[in-house]
C-alpha cells in the first residue's frame, strides 16, 4: 500500500506540489537467515552461501552477526558484502503532464501508479542528473534535467512495520532552475541540475546548494506543521474584514495543520562563471563553498552573493593554446584550506589556499605516466577524469576516468595506489563509443561510509562495487525486470568473448543508452541510491 504523500507547499515563489513517488510496496521480509557466524572477527574464512541467496561464488562475507549473536557491528564497517544487496524501493517521479492528469482522472491515476507503464510517460526532463544524500542520510536529493529537485526522506522506524525502515518517500519537490537565455551571447542556458550539495544541518531547516551551468542557488527546506488562526483583521481565507464588523479582539493561536514542506531560495549566486559549472563543494568551515567551471574556480561566502573570489584560473592568455580544462573539484573534508581539482588530461592538483590568493600553482600534482601500449586515437578522451572524491578520512582521493577508477594516496603523487577496471571490455570499442558520443559520458564514483568500498556506474544499467580490502568486486544491475521489492540482486557478468555462459551478457548486447552516471552511498549505512535515467533505485544490504 502507498503512503499518502506529505502535503505540499503552495508558496508560489518557490515550488510546485509535491508529487507522489510511485513506490514499490514492501512485501515479504528478507528471506535468508544470517550466515553462520565466523569463528573470529579478523580474517574472514569462506562461508557456505546461505540458503535462498544469490548464486554468487564463495565470497568471504563480513560477519553480519557477531559470534555471540549480539547486533551486527556498524554495517559500514563490515565491507562490501557483495551478493547481499536487496532492492528497497524504486522511485519514479511522474512528469508534470501526467501529474495533471492524475488529478483529473481516476483512470489515468491508475495508469500512473503502474510503473510498468512509466516508460511512455517519461520525458527527457525527468532524467536524473545528480543524486546526493545529506550528512545524516535521512534525506536524499535528486536533480533532473528539467531543473527540478526532488527530496526523499527516509521512513522512520516503527514497531509495527520493521521492514519498512529504509524506504524513502517524497519529502519535497521544487523547481530549482529555469531555462534562461543569455541575450548578449545568444546562448541558451540549460536548466539541468548539474550538482546538489547539502549543507550540514545547523537548525531545524535543511539547506542545500543546487547548480546548473551558470547559477548556484542556496535552498532552504523547512517544515511547517502549525499555522496561526484567529486573526482580527483577516478572515479564515485571508480576505480583509470590514473594520466596522469587528466588535471584539482576540489573540491569534497556533493550531496544528497537515505537515507542509516548503522550499525557498535563500541565496542566488549568479554571473560569476563564463563557462559551464561542473562542480560545487561545501567547505568544512561551513561558511564558504567553491564552484568550478571549465577554466576557473570561485570561492564564495554563503552570505555574500554579489562577489566571489577567483582562486584558480587556468585560462591561457591565448585561447588557442588551451590544452586542458577543469573537470571536477572538491574541498578536503577536514582541512578548510585544501582542495583538489581534476583535469581533462588525467591529472589532479591539490592546492592550499594559505599559499597564495590565486592557487594557480599547485601544492601537489598527481599524475600517472601513460602506458604507451594502450595508446590509441582516444587515449586523451579516456584519460579525462570525470569525477574526483575525497575519502571520508581525507587521506585518499578517488578519480574516475572512462574505463577505470583509481585511488590515490595524498602522500604519493606519481601513481595511484589502486586501480580498478570498471569495464575494460570497452577498450576495443572506443571508436563506436566515440561515434555515438558515449565516450564523453561522465561517470561519478562514491566511497562508502568507512572508505572500504567504492562504487561507480557503467552501461546497461550496471553498476560496480569494489571492496578495497578483499579486492573483490561485483557487478549489479538496476533494472525493472528484477525489481520486486526485497529482491536480492544477482551479480552480473559481462562475457568478453569466447563462449558465453548462461546468465552472462555479451559486450555487443549491452545497451549503451542505459547508463548509470550518478550514484550515492549513505554516509553511515550500506544503503545506496542508483539513478538509472528517470528511475531512482535504492538498495540496501541484507541485514537482519
Measured in residues, the chain has a length of 544
Using CB under 8 A as the criterion, what x/- string covers residues 343-362 for binding other proteins?
-x------------------
Minimum distance of other proteins from residue 443's CB (angstroms): 14
Residue 378 beta carbon to other proteins: minimum distance, rounded to whole angstroms: 6
Residue in 372, 411, 481, 501 binding other proteins, rule: CB under 8 A: 372
Backbone φ and ψ of 458, nearest 5°: -150, -160
Q: CA-to-CA distance for 103 and 112, rounded, in angstroms?
A: 11
**Min dist. Cβ of residue 300 to other proteins (A):** 20
Nearer CB in complex with other proteins: 267/423:
423
The answer to the question of residue 271 lying near other proteins (CB under 8 A) is no
274 in contact with other proteins (CB under 8 A)? yes
314 lines the binding site for other proteins (CB under 8 A): no
Count residues binding other proteins (CB under 8 A): 44
The Cα-based distances of 514 to 441, 510, 532 in angstroms read 11, 9, 7
Bridge partners for 265 per DSSP = 219
Span near other proteins by CB under 8 A; candidates 82-90, 132-140, 162-170, 180-188: 180-188
Shortest spacing between CB 413 and other proteins, in angstroms: 24
- Look up residue 381 and give its three cell numbers: 578522451
Rule CB under 8 A: say whether 183 interacts with other proteins.
no
Binding residue for other proteins (CB under 8 A) from 265, 434, 505, 523? 434
DSSP 438-506: GGG----EEE-TTSSEEEEE-BTTEEEEEETTT--EEEEE--STT--TTPBPPP-EEE-SSPPPTTEEE
Residue 383: partners with Cβ closer than 8 Å, 6 or more residues away: 345, 346, 370, 401, 402
CA angle, 402 then 210 then 389, to 5°: 35
Q: Which positions from 189 through 218 interact with other proteins, judged by CB under 8 A?
A: 189-190, 192, 213
CB of 216 to other proteins, least distance (A): 17
Q: Distance between CA 19 and CA 5 in Å, rounded?
A: 7
Cα–Cα dist 251/142, whole Å? 42
Among 305, 384, 404, 540, binds other proteins (CB under 8 A): 384
Binding mask 28-67 for other proteins (x = CB under 8 A): ----------------------------------------
Is 324 one of the binding residues for other proteins (CB under 8 A)?
A: yes
Residue 142, number of CB atoms within 10 A of its CB: 25
Question: Is 375 or 501 the residue whose CB approaches other proteins more closely?
Answer: 375
Answer left, alpha or beta for residue 443, where phi above 0 means left and psi between -120 and 50 means alpha: beta
| Residues near other proteins (CB under 8 A) | 182, 185-190, 192, 213, 274-276, 278, 294-295, 316, 318-325, 327, 344, 372-381, 384, 428, 430-431, 434-435, 437, 440
Amino acid at each position: 500500500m502507498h503512503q499518502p504523500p506529505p502535503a505540499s507547499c503552495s508558496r508560489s515563489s518557490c515550488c510546485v506540489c509535491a508529487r507522489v513517488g510511485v513506490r514499490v510496496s514492501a512485501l515479504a521480509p528478507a528471506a535468508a537467515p544470517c550466515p553462520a557466524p565466523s569463528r573470529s572477527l579478523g580474517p574472514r574464512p569462506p562461508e557456505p552461501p546461505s540458503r535462498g541467496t544469490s548464486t554468487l561464488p564463495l565470497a568471504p562475507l563480513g560477519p553480519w552477526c557477531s559470534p555471540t549473536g549480539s547486533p551486527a557491528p556498524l554495517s559500514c564497517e563490515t565491507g562490501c558484502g557483495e551478493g547481499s544487496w536487496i532492492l528497497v524501493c524504486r522511485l519514479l517521479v511522474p512528469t508534470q503532464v501526467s501529474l495533471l492528469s492524475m488529478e483529473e482522472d481516476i483512470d489515468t491515476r491508475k495508469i500512473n501508479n503502474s510503473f510498468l507503464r512509466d516508460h511512455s510517460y517519461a520525458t527527457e526532463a525527468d532524467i536524473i542528473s545528480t543524486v546526493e544524500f545529506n550528512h545524516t542520510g535521512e534525506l536524499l536529493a535528486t536533480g533532473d534535467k528539467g531543473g527540478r529537485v526532488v527530496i526523499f526522506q527516509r521512513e522512520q522506524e516503527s514497531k509495527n512495520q520493521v521492514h519498512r525502515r529504509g524506504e524513502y518517500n517524497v519529502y519535497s519537490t521544487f523547481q530549482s532552475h529555469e531555462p534562461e537565455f543569455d541575450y548578449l551571447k545568444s546562448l541558451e542556458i540549460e536548466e539541468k541540475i548539474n550538482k546538489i550539495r547539502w549543507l550540514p544541518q545547523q537548525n531545524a531547516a535543511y539547506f542545500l546548494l543546487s547548480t546548473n551551468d551558470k547559477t548556484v542557488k542556496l535552498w532552504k527546506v523547512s517544515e511547517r506543521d502549525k499555522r496561526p488562526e484567529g486573526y482580527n483583521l483577516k478572515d479564515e481565507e485571508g480576505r480583509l474584514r470590514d473594520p466596522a464588523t469587528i466588535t471584539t479582539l482576540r489573540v491569534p493561536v497556533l493550531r496544528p495543520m497537515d505537515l507542509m514542506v516548503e522550499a525557498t531560495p535563500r541565496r542566488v549566486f549568479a554571473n560569476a562563471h563564463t563557462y559551464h559549472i561542473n562542480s560545487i563543494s561545501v567547505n568544512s568551515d561551513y561558511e564558504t563553498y567553491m564552484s568550478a567551471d571549465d577554466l576557473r574556480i570561485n570561492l564564495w561566502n554563503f552570505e555574500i552573493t554579489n562577489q566571489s573570489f577567483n582562486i584558480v584560473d587556468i585560462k591561457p592568455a591565448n585561447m588557442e593554446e588551451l590544452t586542458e580544462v577543469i573537470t571536477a573539484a572538491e574541498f578536503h573534508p577536514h582541512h578548510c584550506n585544501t582542495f583538489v581539482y581534476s583535469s581533462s588530461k588525467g591529472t589532479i592538483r591539490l592546492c592550499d589556499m594559505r599559499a597564495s590568493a590565486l592557487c594557480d600553482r599547485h601544492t601537489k600534482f598527481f599524475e600517472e605516466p601513460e602506458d604507451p601500449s594502450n595508446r590509441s586515437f582516444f587515449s586523451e578522451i579516456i584519460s579525462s577524469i570525470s569525477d574526483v572524491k575525497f575519502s571520508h578520512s581525507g587521506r585518499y582521493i578517488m578519480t574516475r576516468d572512462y574505463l577505470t577508477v583509481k585511488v590515490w594516496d595524498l602522500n604519493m603523487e606519481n601513481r595511484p595506489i589502486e586501480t580498478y577496471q570498471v569495464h575494460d571490455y570497452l577498450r576495443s570499442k572506443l571508436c563506436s563509443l566515440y561515434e555515438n558520443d558515449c565516450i564523453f559520458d561522465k561517470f561519478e564514483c562514491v566511497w562508502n561510509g568507512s572508505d572500504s568500498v567504492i562504487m561507480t556506474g557503467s552501461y546497461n544499467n550496471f553498476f560496480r562495487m569494489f571492496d578495497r580490502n578483499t579486492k573483490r568486486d561485483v557487478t549489479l544491475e538496476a533494472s525493472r525486470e528484477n525489481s520486486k521489492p526485497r529482491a536480492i540482486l544477482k551479480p552480473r557478468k559481462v562475457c568478453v568473448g569466447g563462449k558465453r555462459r548462461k546468465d552472462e551478457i555479451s559486450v555487443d548486447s549491452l545497451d549503451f543508452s542505459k547508463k548509470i552516471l550518478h550514484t550515492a552511498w549513505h554516509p553511515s549505512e550500506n544503503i545506496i541510491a542508483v539513478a538509472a535515467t528517470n528511475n531512482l533505485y535504492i538498495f540496501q544490504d541484507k541485514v537482519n
